[in-house]
Amino acid sequence: MPTPTVRPRRLRRTAAIRDLVAQTHLRVDDLVAPLFVREGIDEPQPIESLPGVMQHTATSLRSEVAALAELGVRSVVLFGVPASKDPTGSGAFDPDGIVQIALRDLRSDLGDDIVVMADLCVDEYTDHGHCGIVGADGDVDNDATLELYARAALAQAAAGAQVVAPSGMMDGQVAVIRDALDTAGFTDVAIMAYAAKFASALYGPFRDAVDVSITGGGDRKGYQQDWRNSREAQLEIDLDVAEGADIVMVKPALAYLDVIADASARLDVPMAAYHVSGEYAMIHAAAERGWIDGDAVALEHLTAIKRAGADIVLTYFTRWFAESVANGSVAS
Ligand code: PBG
């Protein structure tokens, strides 16, 4: 065998040379912190299956976001847990619903220093746990649900959301929301669409975080996507772009890197990916047993999501990553 002349190991010899040739860099300003705010509690509540993540009070949310902003985090996305739920999820569009209160607080505290996004769905607010109005046949009624989403978008925009993030996977939701926002004069409010959102088993800890269980042991397979399909994911993404989405999201992230890569090679809009609750919880659970180095795996996973083509990553690791950059334990 002749000695090979192309020797990739030359560029792996030292940390400095590896940093020099590294193609992908994870940065604090790529990340969005998902945050939970719960109505009617006096103290923040830990979420057992999401170590380090809290259900915040309106007050503790303000200090958490101030601390994140201080650490250089540029964006948060809010989820509300209402004190009471009903069939239409009216807390999602009540001007005094918990997320609307939180939006007003955060905008008055921080102005434009941080991008405040709101998840736009009704499942946290409905007593049956579905993402829309359940019809007489037990199915979620697409077009009746769109009206609720339009109302929620207006309530969130009026309360100061700079970005609304529809996550219900109803057909036509982006067009209806865009139209409602524009008609009411909220032309500057952007839409980050959960475009390819799969009916994943990885949302389990999130449902603990928002106290959601679907009545009768139902699931979301009638509206969220079948994870066997990749072409359909591109169709969903194209529809959302055509309907006016400013940013499109793939969710979950790691099991769908092919979908992220295909879309980011084709599209001209920013791409987001949601590293979801189950992805976070798995890392914590294995690290707790000493089976993996949790910090190293977190960094590897989040960087892989960027390498696949995501510009923005929603992750429960946002605070940890920002702190690690600030104290020099990871390079940004
Ligand atoms: C729906 C919504 C869900 C998540 C974000 N928005 C749950 C669902 O579709 O059941 C999941 C996020 C996560 O698992 O971290 N409002």
Closest among 73, 16, 45 to 312, alpha carbons compared:
73
CA-nearest residue, atom 7 of ligand 1: 203
With a 6 Å cutoff on the Cβ, whether 121 touches ligand 1 is yes
- Rounded to the nearest whole angstrom, what is the distance from the C-alpha of residue 197 to the centroid of ligand 1? 9
Q: How confident is the model at residue 4 (pLDDT cuts 50, 70, 90)?
A: confident
Residues 71-91 have pLDDT tens digits of 999 999 999 999 999 999 999
Per-residue pLDDT for 332 more than 80?
no
Tell me the C-alpha distance between 172 and 131, whole Å: 14
The model's confidence at residue 217, banded by pLDDT at 50, 70 and 90, is confident
Mutate to test the pocket of ligand 1, among 31, 35, 203, 314 (most ligand atoms within 8 A of CB): 203
Which ligand 1 atom is at minimum distance from the Cα of 224? 9
Establish whether residue 316 lines the binding site of ligand 1, counting it when its CB lies within 6 angstroms of any ligand atom.
Answer: no
pLDDT tens across 102-128, in order? 999 999 999 999 999 999 999 999 999
How far is ligand 1, taken at its centre, from the CA of residue 8, in Å?
Answer: 42
* Nearest atom in ligand 1 to 34's CA: 15
Residue nearest to atom 6 of ligand 1 (CA): 167
Q: Is 203 in the pocket of ligand 1 (CB under 6 A)?
A: yes
Nearest CA to ligand 1 atom 10: 203
CATH fourth-level superfamily of 26-326: Aldolase class I (3.20.20.70)
In the predicted structure, residue 175 carries a pLDDT above the cut 90: yes
| 206 alpha carbon – ligand 1 mean position (Å) | 6
| Ligand 1 atom at minimal distance to the Cα of residue 280 | 15
Could you tell which of 36, 213, 276 is best to mutate to test the pocket of ligand 1, judged by most ligand atoms within 8 Å of the CB? Answer: 276
251 is catalytic: yes
126 close to ligand 1 (CB < 6 Angstrom):
no
Q: What's the gap in Å between 4 CA and the centre of ligand 1?
A: 50
Tell me if 167 CB under 6 Å of ligand 1.
yes
What pLDDT, on the 0 to 100 scale, is given for residue 197? 98
Confidence band, pLDDT 50/70/90 cuts, at residue 213: confident
Q: Is 165 in the pocket of ligand 1 (CB under 6 A)?
A: no
C-alpha 163: how far from its chain's center?
Answer: 12
Q: Mean of the per-residue pLDDT values for the chain?
A: 96
Q: Does 197 participate in catalysis according to the annotation? A: yes
Residue in 85, 197, 221, 306 annotated catalytic: 197
